[in-house]
């Protein structure tokens, strides 16, 4: 069974927030950053990973994504800020940082 991830990406001004689901967060984030495919993240220049959740299977990840997509923006912002209050970029150019980094360290 493949694990799944729900993730949030935004732009540098945090005006737009995208919620997605994938089985490979590193690969999917690289796709967003490359802007090779047309779509929402390319249109709004979304290239900052600010939140993710990991699931043991894709089915539960998809259910969680659907749940979150029904929420308003304030509730989504609250979720990000609960673990990443300063909206740090969780990718260091090489790998995804843990959310523990966002909570415990203030250096990027």
Q: Check which CATH number belongs to the domain holding 54 and give it.
A: 3.40.1440.10
- Compute the average pLDDT of residues 67-88: 95
- Compute the average pLDDT of residues 67-75: 97
Q: Residue 46: which pLDDT band, with cuts at 50, 70 and 90?
A: very high
pLDDT of residue 104 exceeding 80: no
Which one, of 48, 46, 49, lies nearest residue 99 by Cα? 49
User: In a 3-state reduction of DSSP, which class is residue 49?
Assistant: strand
Domain around 56 = 4-104
Q: Residue 107: which pLDDT band, with cuts at 50, 70 and 90?
A: very low
Q: What CA–CA distance (Å, rounded) separates 66 from 68? A: 6
Chain mean pLDDT for the chain: 87
Q: Residue 95: which pLDDT band, with cuts at 50, 70 and 90?
A: confident
Domains: count for the chain: 1
């Amino acid at each position: 069974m493949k694990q799944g991830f729900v993730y949030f990406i935004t732009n540098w001004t945090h005006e737009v927030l995208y919620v997605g689901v994938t089985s490979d967060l590193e690969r999917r984030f690289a796709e967003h950053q490359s802007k090779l495919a047309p779509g929402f993240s390319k249109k709004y220049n979304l290239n900052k990973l600010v939140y993710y959740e990991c699931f043991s299977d894709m089915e539960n990840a998809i259910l969680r994504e659907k749940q979150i997509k029904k929420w308003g923006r304030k509730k989504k912002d609250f979720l990000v800020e609960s673990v990443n209050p300063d909206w740090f970029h969780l990718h260091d150019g090489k790998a995804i940082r843990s959310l523990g980094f966002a909570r415990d360290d203030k250096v990027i």
